[in-house]
Amino acid sequence: MTIDVGRVIGAVTREVTSREHEGAPARVVAASRAYDTNREDLWDALTNPERIPRWFLPVSGDLRLGGSYQLKGNASGEITGCEPPRHLALTWGMHGQVSWVTVDLSEQPDGRTLLRLEHIAHVPEEFWDQFGPGAVGVGWDEALLGLDQHLATESAVGPESAQAWLASEEGRSFVRRSSDAWRAASIESGTDPAAATAAADRTTSFYLGE
């Protein structure tokens, strides 16, 4: 597949903040972008178990409020908030750690729908210093790209084709530019530029397998 990397990177607004969550300091990585579809269709793409694997990963479980989910080879958790077609909240369990993800959808005057995703986590300082927000941010950029392609073409963008594209020069460029964009967001949040750049370089190397 051919993708305008500059367009999809530039379509996302990235924010890095901190707040208290469940009684402890937490890091917040947020990504927002508008999609050329109505809110009901975008909600369906995000929550319909038949559509989720077309842009993200195969999912199983009891996909309703209070139910649990499992993404194949990836995160699992509980659906803690569900207000169709505007708000979804869930726990995100990976590698023995639990974090929290929220997705909010809002209608735009031009007929598009704005998606805002927040990933909230209690991150050990040494890990944050080593990799910065791109550790999860690049992965979410990849998911938002898959959603973009699914909505634009109505076709499936399965994990195999996505991984093949990410291994291409175009895909590797996407990873570098995503990581650099999260570096910029980290600096905007107050991180020392040299430290943010070093963390982004390590994140880029991780995603590229270098």
Q: What is the pLDDT of residues 7-29, one digit of tens each?
A: 999 999 999 999 999 999 999 99
137-194 pLDDT tens trace: 999 999 999 999 999 887 666 667 778 889 999 999 999 999 999 999 999 999 999 9
> What is the spatial distance between Cα 184 and Cα 180, in angstroms, rounded to a whole number?
6
Top CATH class, 5-208: alpha beta
Two tokens at 128?
A: 């944050």
42-94 pLDDT tens trace: 999 999 999 999 999 999 999 999 999 999 999 999 999 999 999 999 999 99
Per-domain residue ranges of the chain: 5-208
CA 87 distance to own-chain centroid? 16
Residues 6+ apart with CB under 8 A from 81: 65, 87, 88, 89, 90, 102
> What is the spatial distance between Cα 200 and Cα 152, in angstroms, rounded to a whole number?
30
